[in-house]
Structure 1
Amino acid sequence: MAALARSSTLIALAAVVLAVLGGAAEAKAKLSPNFYSRSCPNLATIVRQRMSAAIQQEKRMGASILRLFFHDCFVNFNADFVTAMIKMGNLRPAAGMPTEVRLNCRVPN
């Protein structure tokens, strides 16, 4: 009986390890710095120019956009977020409560 329990535990552990390793390999395969190299080869230049212009206009814009992408909106990702990001040119930095950006992520600019 103990051998059967140990065998079941080892099989379950092996399944978990394989699932984790398989998921890690799949996730790694999807991330690439060259993802847009064919569809938009000038993407890095365009983003750099737009960010520089936004930061020159409003010094806090760089930090606000980084926070928007990596903190607030991905926590509550939904379809409205995609719509809001399409017109990101009207984005203004958040200067109030921490939830201000999170609430605005659901409203298209």
Structure 2
Amino acid sequence: MATVTRVQTGVRLEARLLNVLKALAALKNTSLGDLLEGIVLHAFEGEQAFSAPTLAQIAELKKIYGLDLTAADSHQLVETERAVRATAKRPAATAKRRSGRNRS
């Protein structure tokens, strides 16, 4: 068993993809973070992360959550204008919280 240091991160994901991942983690009785770690570690070694039965579960979850994206879409995703505007506003708010100063 390997000892690791985990950090909190603010990763942004496509909403339907996140729903499928959360549901899969729940089905597998694991955390979202553990699921993502497993997927990435398998991918780094060029291995399949999921068995055939799990892939069938994923296909059903994709239908439930309307996830029609494929690997071919991965480098061509464009955010909605609303999401882009919301993201542009966040860095200033995050910096303000990190500084620990209340400027009211």
What TM-score do the two structures reach when normalised by structure 1? 0.25
Structure richer in helix, relative to its length: 1
Larger radius of gyration: 1
Q: Looking at both structures, which has the greater relative contact order when contacts are Cα pairs under 8 Å and sequence separation is at least 6?
A: 2
